[in-house]
Amino acid sequence: MSTFTMIASLGLAAALATGTAVAQDAPAPKENATQQLPPDGMTKDKAGKKAKGDAHAHAKVGSPAPAFTLKNTDGKDVSLSDFAGKTVVLQWINPDCPVCKGKMEDGSVAKMMADAKAADPDVVFLLVNSTHYMADKPATNADYMKANKVIATALVDGDGAVGHMYGARTTPHCYVIDPKGTLAYDGAIDDKGSKNYVVDAVTAIKQGKAVSPATTKPYGCSVKYKK
């Protein structure tokens, strides 16, 4: 082998060795790190869902009940603050809901109100209708209560703002607010049997006891909010 050939071979070997070392020390391709992250669309979607969830955060038991003002069946303003110092029961209604109608027609609601008033004569019942297509028909609520011999104040929540504040999901969905304005109960009207959670909550509050259970799973038709 000539001297020139030997020098060229050694130079090539050295270059190859150096290239191999550089390749081994180089960081992993960026594509790998990128592949481990969710696509931008997914990230934005999750962020959007979180923001939407925060926007619809609703009242919690143990926290102050959200203040509101709604129109009654006579078109007059009724505010939660009008009943400061009293226990207030909110019940979501819909005259078209078979579950709500069933509880009205079988006398369950009337009995609940009578039993609650026996425990606390000053308790206030407000029946809230967030059914969007009944927003301009307040007489529907008045006729509904009259037909079922229920004496209470019915309120129109056509845009669903109050329903969303409380997180009302079904008709009926009930809430009990204590005289201090704190939400004390959130859930079903009863256990689908003889135990009425609302009456139990009103009784406990009147006796200065803790409401138990303070939350239950409401049942019935979904509230027909405006989309």
Same domain, 41 and 153: no
**What's the number of domains the chain is made of?**
2
Q: Is residue 210 part of a domain?
A: yes
Q: Is residue 136 part of a domain?
A: yes
Residue 13 is predicted with a pLDDT of 42
Range of the domain at 28: 3-55
Residue 170 is predicted with a pLDDT of 98
Q: What is the DSSP letter of 215?
A: B
Same domain, 28 and 74: no
Residue 23 is predicted with a pLDDT of 37
Same domain, 173 and 131: yes
Residue 180 is predicted with a pLDDT of 98
Q: Is residue 227 part of a domain?
A: no
Q: Is residue 61 part of a domain?
A: no
Same domain, 20 and 89: no
Same domain, 84 and 130: yes
Give the whole-angstrom CA distance, residue 173 versus residue 69: 19
Residue 227 is predicted with a pLDDT of 87
Q: Is residue 50 part of a domain?
A: yes
Same domain, 129 and 212: yes
Same domain, 39 and 80: no
Per-residue pLDDT of the chain (227 residues; tens, 9 = 90+): 444 344 344 443 444 344 433 333 434 333 333 333 232 222 223 323 322 333 446 899 999 999 999 999 999 999 999 999 999 999 999 999 999 999 999 999 999 999 999 999 999 999 999 999 999 999 999 999 999 999 999 999 999 999 999 999 999 999 999 999 999 999 999 999 999 999 999 999 999 999 999 999 999 999 999 98
Give the whole-angstrom CA distance, residue 187 versus residue 176: 9
Domain end point (choices 12, 27, 55): 55
Same domain, 133 and 189: yes
Number of Cβ atoms within 10 Å of the Cβ of 137: 16
Same domain, 155 and 215: yes
Same domain, 103 and 200: yes
In degrees and rounded to multiples of 5, residue 90 shows phi and psi of -105, 130
Tokens of 67: 């203040």
Q: Is residue 60 part of a domain?
A: no
* Size of the chain in residues: 227
| Cβ-proximal residues to 132 (8 Å cutoff; 6+ apart), any chain | 158, 159, 160, 224, 225, 226, 227
Could you tell me the CATH number of the domain that includes residue 130?
Answer: 3.40.30.10
Residue 57 is predicted with a pLDDT of 61
Give the whole-angstrom CA distance, residue 90 versus residue 126: 5
